């Protein structure tokens, strides 16, 4: 796992440095705040969904390097409400999340542009004793009026199912759907 992490950091650094050099002329660098929420796809009860909407939030920011093909590291403070297995007690647990997304702009018609993005996400409980974990995210998004950015992503569960099997059984496999909105500043 450490070799994969080191390789990911090296590839990311090369990508960012090449993006920065290529964009010195165009200054295709954006940054800004983002807020969002995570919903468990295994939740089917309306009360549980409503509870997640009230308690599972995240706040942070992003940097985006590139125009058509881009690299977008993000960092969030996230809070999730966790229930005991018997459903008796619940408590809020805080996490640090760091998605490292690579994206591709599919369509740009001026007022709106659409993109695909994918990449690994590091999640670590703040103050927890367990190690952080890496998971894979993939999603779609739109930039509206050039300064509002929205994304919907699916975080794959770490298990024996392939990505296509997880997508086929999206509702019942226990992955997470992530919704965010933010401001794109230059």
The domain that holds 157 is classified in CATH as 2.40.160.20
List the one residue out of 70, 60, 59 whose CA is nearest residue 29: 70
Residue with the bigger pLDDT between 66 and 14: it is 66
Sign of the Cα pseudo-torsion (54, 101, 61, 4, in order): positive
Write down the mean pLDDT value for the chain.
78
Query: Residue 30 sits in which domain range?
Result: 2-183
* 72 neighbors 101 (Cβ within 8 angstroms): yes
120-179 tens-digit pLDDT: 999 998 988 888 889 899 999 999 998 999 999 988 876 555 555 554 555 445 567 889
b/e for 80-101, b at 16 or more Cβ within 10 A? Answer: beeeeeeeeeeeeeebebbbbb
Look at residue 13 and give its three-state secondary structure: helix
Number of domains, the chain: 1
């Amino acid at each position: 796992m450490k070799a994969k992490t080191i390789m990911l950091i090296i590839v990311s650094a090369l990508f960012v440095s090449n993006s920065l050099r290529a964009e010195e002329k165009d200054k295709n660098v954006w940054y800004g705040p983002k807020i969002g929420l995570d919903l468990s796809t295994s939740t089917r009860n309306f009360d549980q969904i409503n509870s997640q909407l009230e308690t599972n939030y995240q706040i942070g920011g992003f940097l985006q390097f590139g125009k058509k093909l881009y690299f977008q590291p993000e960092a969030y403070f996230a809070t999730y409400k966790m229930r005991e297995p018997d459903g008796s007690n619940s408590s809020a647990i805080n996490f640090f999340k760091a998605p490292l997304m690579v994206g591709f702009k599919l369509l740009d018609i001026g007022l709106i542009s659409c993109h695909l993005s994918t990449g690994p996400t590091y999640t670590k409980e703040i103050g927890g004793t367990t190690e952080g974990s890496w998971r894979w995210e993939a999603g779609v998004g739109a930039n509206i009026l050039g300064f509002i950015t929205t994304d919907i992503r699916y975080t794959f569960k770490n298990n024996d199912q392939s990505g296509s099997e997880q997508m086929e059984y999206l509702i019942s496999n226990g992955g997470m759907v992530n919704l965010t909105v933010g401001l794109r500043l230059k």
